[in-house]
Structure 1
């Protein structure tokens, strides 16, 4: 890619050093991401993905309440890796690398300078790495990548002469919507932007019907493309007889779960919180870049590109507010586009520093480092981003076989990676391949680690613990366990999930109120051992 007319300055040694430094930083950050293990959610998606590869269907044969797109992604990852956890990280890294390339293309189109895209790639990779294993490889992660791809398709020069770029854009945003429904709304923003650009590019005002045709033509193709993934998904579920299960879960269970975040809150309050956390709650390099873009607004060549990015980000943040949970990964789709906006500010500040000489360059580098260490997006895990990164580098460069150290980096709150591996080893030893197990808790990764199937479609017990579905789902679970008794039952404790279940009880406490399951375990199973917060029960012979 060559520099466009917007940047005719000769790129001196500071620019070449900056490009090399940014490229190296991106490579290091991608290497760190490659070391991430599964968290709790990733274990859920992996088990449902395994079910798909085994011929089953989400919701009907392996229950979770996320949209169906993420399970297809994990099924593809498992097909790639043979079930190993590196498969999803390989897809993630491929998406991040492609996103950096698309950033460079978008930056060249809008601002005539592809190096802005390299800055954006660095910022996006940085915040991604800072989110750590727990908040990455999530639906929003891949939805953000698809959103960038949708913008790349819609802003292609062919889009002004042909229809296919808008159709492709719609398909990409539609796929993003299958990962997280609000993300599909980004396609509507692109459609309006493209129509407005077409109207503005007319040589003469023209007749009003023609102007409205210019406005509506992109919208029609984006809408058609956006509908295609949803139509194909519904057709897939219908053909496999799983449409009722999808409807029961996404239209029955999920609205009640979402409502937990709305208790005693108004939409304006939720939107305000999402906006403030996006601006101030995560990576300070992103925040500083946004401020620089605002300060240097008049210097920008293409303000319409920034407006488009902000419009799509606004839809994404509205989706965060509507969920009402404000988990860090809920913002993951917004960071790539936010990084591109912030990169514009950092790039222009860099060019000003280069123009003023070595002293200004030194001050710029100090400001960059200072902003980098001020605040990171790392939350919910033990240790800072910098400490955890040093540990990862030390572990995977010098001590690659140190499983306890790796487990320490994959442990969060009540999720103990070492205990999960120990329990999975016991299950592999004591349960024959092909025999089923059941985990009464919120650790479905045990099915994956032990390589044993679940005796129930309920791969974790949230449906049996929440007020709106407990009665029906408990009856169904007991029927499944009685008709196909598992060889082992695991009972978890200390897994309180108030943001999910709406109360402070854990699985062991919930079991006391589930008389049928408690009696089944007491009569047909014997307690073998305890491992951390797990009890392992084997079926009596």
Structure 2
């Protein structure tokens, strides 16, 4: 079997290979508006922002505003063009990130496995919920840029590059706050480097303050905007306080999620550890080892553990794995076999998820059943993309169904769940959408809505969406 990489591969050749692999790996998701519930909501929020809505105020969630600003770009194209737009943005981000992984592997002396490392990153995304536009799919590119700037700062002894690295990490925080652990470790690495250079306590303190300022500036700017419009309390609660009020998932569910993540990541992390252990160590490779440890710790301390939470680990893991993937014996046999196996497994996962969650055809039928108006829509449980596709108004700022129906969110969203459900129903939405009861749902909430459907509503349609049947109720008033 031919090798996947050569030490002399050109940059253009590598870029074309990575692009081709990414297109093939993700093709099953293109144009599908229901790839993942998170992305549906991000797109909805981005779309709502064009209509004057403010995240946390008019549309509630815990994610940083930067993520919604990012999704506002493709949402400007409307539905369904915006779906293709955000997936194209995700594809470009994936290819650019994989290219930087390969470049860093070359820089660290593992050029023979560099392209294979980039390919591994692309393929592992499909196994970890990164087949669409999850937040790490976008911010991993910024973290790779930050890591590169740190290595350049060390090599060229330029504080400005360290500041640039922390500025990038600060932007990442406005896409996903859980990156804070990696950001802190990056900052500490830069401080150690500064101390070794200057041995000056004053210089160290000033540099440290500068690093903190640039890393927190994007978040401070976001907070300042909300304070200026009189919504500081809404910003503070949604971004920093509500997460501490969320109820834990059952231990068995947590353990299962963590076990699944560990199982998927273990091959590439094992290769990374072996590569780092066998390689001759220097400061840059030590940085990679520290980064890998920080990424793992950053994932472990933030519960609950969903598969896509492990995506940041792929950056240092795939880079370090290049040391093994490029070994002569591996290039000829094991590397192609591993990557082809992961590619096949990824396609099986995507097909399985499409069967589970549905596809564009099923969503189109469901959207047609809901119709485009007049009257507002209430998605008690189901796809929030229906709001965008049907152009129907919403009756609550708690758009994510789980925020009102899931047990773990009780007391953690700034509103009494039952009171808000009752308030929504009292406004007599024209259409109500419900999926079957699901694991973690509050039975009393489901029963409350179902009982309301018996008075003034008719069952207009029951349509398949993946492995579930979605009920569409329409008002008879």
2:147 to 151, 155, 159: 151
Structure 1 residue 537, shift from structure 2 partner: 1.7
Measured against aligned partners, the alpha-carbon deviations of 1:54-77 in whole angstroms (never above 9, x if no partner) come to 110123222333333322221122
Measured against aligned partners, the alpha-carbon deviations of 1:214-263 in whole angstroms (never above 9, x if no partner) come to 54454332211111011011123233444333334344542233x51485
Partner of 1:397: none
Give the 3-state SS of the residue equivalent to 1:326 in structure 2.
Answer: coil
Measured against aligned partners, the alpha-carbon deviations of 1:291-348 in whole angstroms (never above 9, x if no partner) come to 54145222x5xx322322232333332232223322110011121221111113333x
Moved more, 153-162 or 317-326: 153-162
Mapped partners of 2:331, 2:320: distance in 1: 19
Partner of 1:523: 455
- C-alpha spacing 1:442/1:260, structure 2 compared with 1 (3 Å): farther
Mapped partners of 1:15, 1:326: distance in 2: 38
| Contact preservation (8 Å) 1:437, 1:452 | yes
- C-alpha spacing 1:251/1:478, structure 2 compared with 1 (3 Å): farther
Partner of 1:396: none
Structure 1 residue 466, shift from structure 2 partner: 4.0
User: What runs of 5+ residues in structure 1 fail to find an aligned partner?
Assistant: 1-12, 203-209, 354-359, 390-407
Mapped partners of 1:466, 1:168: distance in 2: 41
Alignment of 1:313-324 (within 5 A): 313-324=292-303
Establish whether residue 181 from structure 1 lines up as the match of residue 177 from structure 2: yes
Mapped partners of 2:336, 2:105: distance in 1: 24
Partner of 1:478: 422
2:18 to 21, 26, 29: 26
Moved more, 53-62 or 24-33: 24-33
- C-alpha spacing 1:293/1:53, structure 2 compared with 1 (3 Å): same
Alignment of 1:292-371 (within 5 A): 292-298=274-280, 300=281, 303-347=282-326, 349=327, 353=328, 364-371=331-338
Partner of 1:492: 435
Establish whether residue 439 from structure 1 lines up as the match of residue 371 from structure 2: no
Q: Which has the higher contact order (CA 8 A, sep 6+)?
A: 2
| Contact preservation (8 Å) 2:56, 2:234 | yes
Mapped partners of 2:137, 2:290: distance in 1: 19
Structure 1 residue 426, shift from structure 2 partner: 1.8
Give the 3-state SS of the residue equivalent to 2:371 in structure 1.
Answer: helix
Partner of 2:233: 244
| Contact preservation (8 Å) 1:493, 1:534 | yes
2:391 to 442, 447, 451: 451
| Contact preservation (8 Å) 1:292, 1:346 | no
Mapped partners of 1:80, 1:305: distance in 2: 43
Measured against aligned partners, the alpha-carbon deviations of 1:156-178 in whole angstroms (never above 9, x if no partner) come to 35985554322222221122122
Mapped partners of 2:252, 2:452: distance in 1: 40
Mapped partners of 1:104, 1:223: distance in 2: 30
Structure 1 residue 129, shift from structure 2 partner: 3.9
Mapped partners of 1:314, 1:288: distance in 2: 13
Mapped partners of 1:450, 1:367: distance in 2: 49
| Contact preservation (8 Å) 2:14, 2:115 | yes
Partner of 1:234: 223
Establish whether residue 539 from structure 1 lines up as the match of residue 472 from structure 2: no
Structure 1 residue 289, shift from structure 2 partner: 3.1
Mapped partners of 1:158, 1:306: distance in 2: 12
Mapped partners of 1:451, 1:171: distance in 2: 38
Partner of 1:385: 346
Mapped partners of 1:417, 1:291: distance in 2: 41
Give the 3-state SS of the residue equivalent to 2:301 in structure 1.
Answer: helix
RMSD (CA atoms): 3.6
- C-alpha spacing 1:335/1:263, structure 2 compared with 1 (3 Å): same
**How many residues were matched structurally?**
458
Mapped partners of 2:226, 2:101: distance in 1: 35
Partner of 1:9: none
Give the 3-state SS of the residue equivalent to 1:142 in structure 2.
Answer: helix
- C-alpha spacing 1:448/1:187, structure 2 compared with 1 (3 Å): same
- C-alpha spacing 1:86/1:372, structure 2 compared with 1 (3 Å): same
- C-alpha spacing 1:321/1:490, structure 2 compared with 1 (3 Å): same
Partner of 1:405: none
Mapped partners of 1:126, 1:461: distance in 2: 31
User: What runs of 5+ residues in structure 2 fail to find an aligned partner?
Assistant: none
Give the 3-state SS of the residue equivalent to 1:489 in structure 2.
Answer: strand
Instruction: State the structure with more CA Rg.
Output: 1
| Contact preservation (8 Å) 2:380, 2:432 | yes
- C-alpha spacing 1:409/1:74, structure 2 compared with 1 (3 Å): farther
Structure 1 residue 457, shift from structure 2 partner: 1.7
| Contact preservation (8 Å) 1:194, 1:215 | no
Scaled by the length of structure 2, the TM-score of the pair is 0.82
| Contact preservation (8 Å) 1:195, 1:217 | no
- C-alpha spacing 1:454/1:189, structure 2 compared with 1 (3 Å): same
2:46 to 45, 49, 55: 49
Measured against aligned partners, the alpha-carbon deviations of 1:70-94 in whole angstroms (never above 9, x if no partner) come to 2222112223676521222222222
